Structure 1
Amino acid sequence: MIRALSSRLGYARSKRDAAQEKLRATELAIGRLATEFRRIENGLRKQQKQLASLRRERDEKTAALVAQREALARQIRFSYAMGRQDYLKIFLNQENPYELARVLTYYGYFNRARAERIEATRQDLARLDVLEGAIDQETTALQGLKQAKEKVRGNLKALLDRRRRVLAKLAKEITRDDQRLARLKQNKDRLEKLITGIRRKLKSFDHHKSFRGLKGELEWPTVGPLLNRFGAKRDPGGMRWQGVRIAARSGRPVRAISRGRVVFADWLRGFGLLLIIDHGDGYMSLYGHNQSLYKQSEDWVESGDIIASVGNSGGNAENSLYFEIRHQGHPQDPAIWCK
């Protein structure tokens, strides 16, 4: 009987691990697609801006061409009114040498102005041809980006549906409070083990300003209300929050609170897509449940750099950012550090 029970427990544990691994693979894929979606949207905005600029220039050149043609038409009419006289006729018809000089000077100016008008018109026509070609190219590129966006959107929807099925399966396997408590403790232990391993491998680096001196001056990593207080109970078993959750819409930027080096950027059970920054002097900041990660391990970041986007990875039902600050591995109250 004991052997049969152990076998069933082992099978159930194996199923849970397989579901968690499926969740990990799915959320990593969602993160990659969300990043690609963001890249395409940025490209779309850039292409639309470029297209609008080209169209404005085309309209300006068209208006200038109309003005050039009208001015040229006036010059031609004036030339016709003068009887299309050449220099010899003008010379023979003038008795006063001063008047002759004045007329010849004006006639030369008039001819140069007409030639310049003709050349300007020719250049405007050539520029319009170039602009029309550029507009066609930008329009084609824009259509391509829109098609790519729709394809990524469809793939993203399919992955989100798959994630919902995985979460529903996991929810059925964790029904009792003691099971939930055990899972929370396991998640906490995994994070502690990860941070301990990171701290052992850390190398010191030069920093412009001690992180310690930034207490009370830091900006929050994203905008939104706090869903819990640091140190508050998070379950009947007595576990307490070691960080805070910040409610925010999916995809909202997550920013580094200070200069530092990324020491972890990957999926961790219970925390989803997690990014950890080492700020020196034993200080770290942690950002969990992200939708996408925009930085990799060993990347350097500055205060305010966008490092991730808000999500619900790690099996969360609602979108939020999980945020911690630690010193020598010990959690600190973010509300004391951030203004």
Structure 2
Amino acid sequence: MRSLILCLSLAGAVSAALAASPSRTQQKARAEADRAELQQQLKALKADISKTENAKDHAADALAESERAVSEANRSLRDLQSEQADTETRLQQLYAKRAALEAEVEKQKQRLSGFLKRQYMHGDSDRMKLLLSGDNPNRINRDLQYMGYVSQTQAKMIDGLRSSLKAVEQNTLETQQVKTELDEITEEEKEHKAALEREKKKHATLVTQLSDKLYTQRRQADNLQKDEQRLTQLVGKLNQLIEEQIKAEKARAEREEKLRQERLAAQKEKERLAELERRKNATRPSEGNKPAPSKPIKPAEPEEPVREVRSSIPAAGEFDKLKGQMRLPVRGDILAKFGSRRGDGPTWKGLFIKAPEGSEVRAVAPGKVIFADWYKGYGNMVIVGHGDKYMSIYGNNQSVLKHVGDTVKAGDVIASAGSSGANEESGLYFEIRREGRAFDPLNWISVK
């Protein structure tokens, strides 16, 4: 009986196990399906992110071109304003000349009017009447000559009046043409700049939208690190170029000095041999003749020393003397200081000075522009070399107003502040470096 009960129990357990197996198989199948679906979604998401990143890169390139174009337009407008000031000066000169011509015309009119009045009152205009008067022929001839002189004077005055009137007319026409041409150029340049600004705004909006979609703190930190590395590499290359330039100039100066010394030594040797020959001839005079008086040999005039070849970059030590005396390159509030953290990214290697778009950016010290172009992460950027491997860096500008090779003085306007390089705030990023190493600008700048 017990064996029968045990067999029945085993049979029930087996039946229950067989009934449960299909349910677990279905769960496993559903899990596999869910995992496959998730993998498909992840693959689609990665593809979408890749497309968005490509779109952002294209939009960023378009924004860079727009910012370059706006920079060029602003530089053209600035040059045009200078030309406009020169033209205004020229216009004033033309107006003054026209006033002088009009005054001269008025004087000529008065002189001609007085001359005609006097001629009419004297009644000397009838030559035929004078010839038929039967008067003394000598007197008639003298009066005719006088009348000829009068007629010539009258003709000259009329010609002078016509010439002056024509000069006034030409002056007026030239003045109007210059003013009209300048107004047209200015209006066209303003329209061109407005179109570029609209294009820049469109690209900037697109870049902002794409950046919001892709933005993460880790990715931003990585980009900042890469931007800093690129800037460091650029600074290193510029330092190397400056060093090579200085070495080349020094070698050329040494070669020229060596050549000058060799020429001077050869000239001295020639003079020494000539002096020995003169003395030798003086001790052996010709028979029956007295020795000819010796003529002193005129020493060769020293050659003009070769001028030292100087680079347009200031000499070593000059930049150090300005420490603590420089002014901020742009007026504004310092939002970020040297050494502070940039979120989860690297520390700031300079200052970020908040300033309205278009604010004038000035060189902090004299030097030479060694870089002036758009640079990834820093937008429209200017780098000025100050000698002794010092350089100052001005980034995120709206416009670059100088060219590579331009020499600048302290306080010269080199750029206008902005938000290029996909910067969110309008202002200026400023660094001071030596041999690639960044220094705290506040130790060099007086902020009083």
Structure 1 or 2, whichever has the larger Rg, is 2
Question: Equivalents in 1 of 2:151, 2:416: separation in Å?
Answer: 65
Contact 1:253–1:310 (CA under 8 A) maintained in structure 2 = yes
From 63, 66, 72, the equivalent of 2:103 is 63
Question: Equivalents in 1 of 2:118, 2:372: separation in Å?
Answer: 76
Does 2:51 align with 1:19? Answer: no
SS of residue matched to 2:348: coil
Question: Equivalents in 2 of 1:312, 1:243: separation in Å?
Answer: 16
1:214 aligned partner:
322
SS of residue matched to 1:227: strand
Does 2:300 align with 1:260? Answer: no
SS of residue matched to 2:415: strand
2:182 aligned partner:
142
- The 5-angstrom pairing of residues 263-302 of structure 1 reads 263-297=370-404, 299-302=405-408
SS of residue matched to 1:276: strand
Question: Equivalents in 1 of 2:440, 2:152: separation in Å?
Answer: 78
Contact 1:243–1:322 (CA under 8 A) maintained in structure 2 = yes
Question: Equivalents in 2 of 1:170, 1:193: separation in Å?
Answer: 28
From 417, 421, 429, the equivalent of 1:310 is 417
How many Å apart are 1:132 and its aligned residue?
2.6
Question: Equivalents in 1 of 2:181, 2:357: separation in Å?
Answer: 28
Does 2:234 align with 1:194? Answer: yes
Question: Equivalents in 2 of 1:82, 1:244: separation in Å?
Answer: 91
Distance 1:36 1:77, change over 3 A: same
Question: Equivalents in 2 of 1:302, 1:264: separation in Å?
Answer: 13
How many Å apart are 1:211 and its aligned residue?
1.7
Counterpart amino acid of residue 225 in structure 2: K
1:36 aligned partner:
76
Q: CA offsets per residue over residues 282-326 of structure 1, 9 Å max, x none? A: 2011011122223344x1413144433322211124432222111
Q: CA offsets per residue over residues 18-55 of structure 1, 9 Å max, x none? A: 33333322222222233333334444444444334323
Unaligned ranges ≥5, structure 2: 1-38, 136-146, 247-310
How many Å apart are 1:120 and its aligned residue?
4.6
1:157 aligned partner:
197
SS of residue matched to 1:307: strand
Question: Equivalents in 2 of 1:138, 1:281: separation in Å?
Answer: 48
Counterpart amino acid of residue 238 in structure 2: I
Q: CA offsets per residue over residues 240-294 of structure 1, 9 Å max, x none? A: 3322233444334433333433332222222101121222212011011122223
How many Å apart are 1:141 and its aligned residue?
1.6
Question: Equivalents in 1 of 2:445, 2:361: separation in Å?
Answer: 14
Contact 1:44–1:145 (CA under 8 A) maintained in structure 2 = no
Question: Equivalents in 1 of 2:236, 2:185: separation in Å?
Answer: 44
1:99 aligned partner:
none
1:166 aligned partner:
206
Bigger CA drift: 117-126 or 163-172? 117-126
Counterpart amino acid of residue 213 in structure 1: K
Question: Equivalents in 2 of 1:236, 1:149: separation in Å?
Answer: 41
How many Å apart are 1:176 and its aligned residue?
4.2
1:325 aligned partner:
432
Q: CA offsets per residue over residues 61-80 of structure 1, 9 Å max, x none? A: 22332233124323432443
Question: Equivalents in 2 of 1:112, 1:310: separation in Å?
Answer: 70
Does 2:90 align with 1:50? Answer: yes
Question: Equivalents in 1 of 2:221, 2:362: separation in Å?
Answer: 31
Contact 1:272–1:290 (CA under 8 A) maintained in structure 2 = yes
Counterpart amino acid of residue 301 in structure 1: T
From 102, 113, 116, the equivalent of 1:76 is 116
Question: Equivalents in 2 of 1:45, 1:332: separation in Å?
Answer: 41
Unaligned ranges ≥5, structure 1: 93-106
Q: Over the residues paired in the alignment, what is the CA RMSD in angstroms?
A: 3.8
TM-score (norm 1): 0.77
Bigger CA drift: 318-327 or 4-13? 4-13
Question: Equivalents in 1 of 2:396, 2:52: separation in Å?
Answer: 26
TM-score (norm 2): 0.60
Question: Equivalents in 2 of 1:35, 1:177: separation in Å?
Answer: 36
1:127 aligned partner:
167
Counterpart amino acid of residue 217 in structure 1: Q
Contact 1:27–1:163 (CA under 8 A) maintained in structure 2 = no
Does 2:357 align with 1:250? Answer: yes
Counterpart amino acid of residue 149 in structure 1: E
Contact 1:23–1:166 (CA under 8 A) maintained in structure 2 = no
Question: Equivalents in 1 of 2:421, 2:118: separation in Å?
Answer: 81
Does 2:227 align with 1:227? Answer: no
- The 5-angstrom pairing of residues 102-121 of structure 1 reads 118=158, 120-121=160-161
Counterpart amino acid of residue 226 in structure 1: D
Contact 1:256–1:301 (CA under 8 A) maintained in structure 2 = no
How many Å apart are 1:9 and its aligned residue?
5.8
Distance 1:271 1:175, change over 3 A: same
